[in-house]
């Protein structure tokens, strides 16, 4: 089958590599003058992997859209709306859009599938592809489990049939709201974990995981999702890769923030926390961990004091 990848960063390029590896024809799209795309064109590789010569590299959105019926988008969450506007200039009717990305739109608080549906007014199917796994592990042939979710069960089954393999075992996600919120929010919990690492407070990660999952489950329930979804692959299932792994951008962002180091890669949790605060106010949900991380990053509160106060809150019942 033919597969288009919109986005040529770490994860987008990997999904092109993976789709090609399991036997699909692949086109990877990147913006004109994209540093990542130019590197791939010049060397057929990036810092994580080498792509085959039969993978097409293009900066033409028209070519990317017309190439296939299955279009995977993997870009910065705050850039998704602009990408969808570009895509909507071409015929997308009958195509399947798969969001292999995690985040919530700032200012609106919209989930990413909602952004796509709001911008692309054509007959399309929309799905998300989330869950644990790092490029560095996959290219070393270390397997993991991930999740496909959509409001249309037939779309889920078609995607799993195309992309399932012994390297990535795909499961069916039943709660799109909970999966999207959980997948996005775990990056904020990852930043918190990195901040604890920065202070050598790693022993508090157990409490962070327990309280973080409860916090996000309250929000999911308020929005209309299933609180149990947070205990699946999209959130807690991704904690090892996000809160502990040396490959986690969000964890590393938090650690470097505490140590006063500049972090140049994409850490989606830094923007997602803005959206979670917006949603917590909209749905009247107490989210102390997200509020603490927001206050440290954007209100410039003293990190050690904020984190200590977070875990030394007045005595409360656990549940």
Contact residues for 54 (Cβ-Cβ < 8 A; gap 6+): 20, 25, 26
Contact residues for 233 (Cβ-Cβ < 8 A; gap 6+): 130, 131, 132, 145, 146, 147, 171, 173
Q: Which two tokens stand for residue 205?
A: 């990660």
Q: Which two tokens stand for residue 226?
A: 């299933």
Report yes or no: 290 and 188 within 8 Å, Cβ to Cβ: yes
Residue of 186, 205, 252, 274 marked active site: 186
Report yes or no: 49 and 16 within 8 Å, Cβ to Cβ: no
Q: Which two tokens stand for residue 313?
A: 């809150």
Chain Cα centroid distance, residue 115: 15
Task: Measure the CA–CA gap between 16 and 181, rounded to whole angstroms.
Answer: 25
CA Rg value for the chain: 19
Helix axis angle, 269-282 relative to 288-297, nearest 10°? Answer: 130
8-state DSSP, 165? -
Nearest residue to 184 (alpha-carbon basis) of 102, 251, 248? 102
Write out the DSSP string of 184-210. Answer: HHHHHHHHHHHHHHHTT-GGGHHHHHH
281 annotated active-site: no
> Which residues are marked as active site?
186
């Amino acid at each position: 089958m033919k597969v288009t990848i919109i986005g040529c960063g770490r994860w987008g390029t990997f999904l092109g590599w993976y789709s090609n590896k399991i036997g699909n024809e692949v086109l990877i799209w990147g913006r004109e003058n994209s540093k990542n795309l130019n590197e791939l064109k010049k060397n057929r590789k990036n810092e994580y992997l080498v792509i085959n010569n039969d993978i097409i590299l293009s900066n033409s959105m028209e070519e990317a859209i017309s190439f296939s019926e299955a279009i995977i988008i993997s870009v910065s969450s705050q850039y998704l709306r602009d990408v969808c506007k570009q895509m909507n200039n071409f015929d997308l009717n009958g195509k399947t859009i798969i969001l292999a990305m995690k985040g919530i739109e700032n200012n609106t608080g919209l989930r990413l599938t909602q952004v796509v549906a709001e911008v692309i007014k054509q007959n399309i199917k929309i799905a998300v592809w989330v869950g644990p796994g790092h490029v560095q592990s996959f290219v070393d042939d270390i397997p993991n489990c991930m999740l496909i979710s959509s409001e249309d069960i037939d779309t889920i089954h078609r995607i799993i049939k195309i992309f399932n393999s012994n390297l990535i075992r795909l499961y069916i996600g039943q709660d799109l709201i909970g999966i999207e919120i959980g997948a996005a929010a775990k990056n904020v919990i990852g930043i918190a974990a990195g901040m604890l690492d920065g202070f050598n407070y790693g022993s508090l990660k157990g409490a962070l995981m327990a309280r973080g999952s409860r916090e996000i489950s309250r929000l999911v329930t308020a929005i209309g999702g299933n609180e149990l979804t947070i205990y699946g692959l999209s959130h807690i299932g991704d904690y090892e890769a996000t809160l502990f792994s040396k490959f986690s951008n969000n964890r590393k962002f938090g650690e470097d923030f505490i140590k006063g180091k500049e972090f140049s890669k994409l850490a989606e949790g830094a923007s997602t926390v803005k959206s979670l605060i917006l949603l917590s106010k909209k749905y009247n949900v107490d989210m102390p961990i997200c509020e603490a991380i927001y206050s440290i990053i954007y209100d410039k509160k003293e990190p050690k004091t904020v984190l200590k106060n977070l875990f030394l809150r007045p005595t409360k019942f656990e549940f």
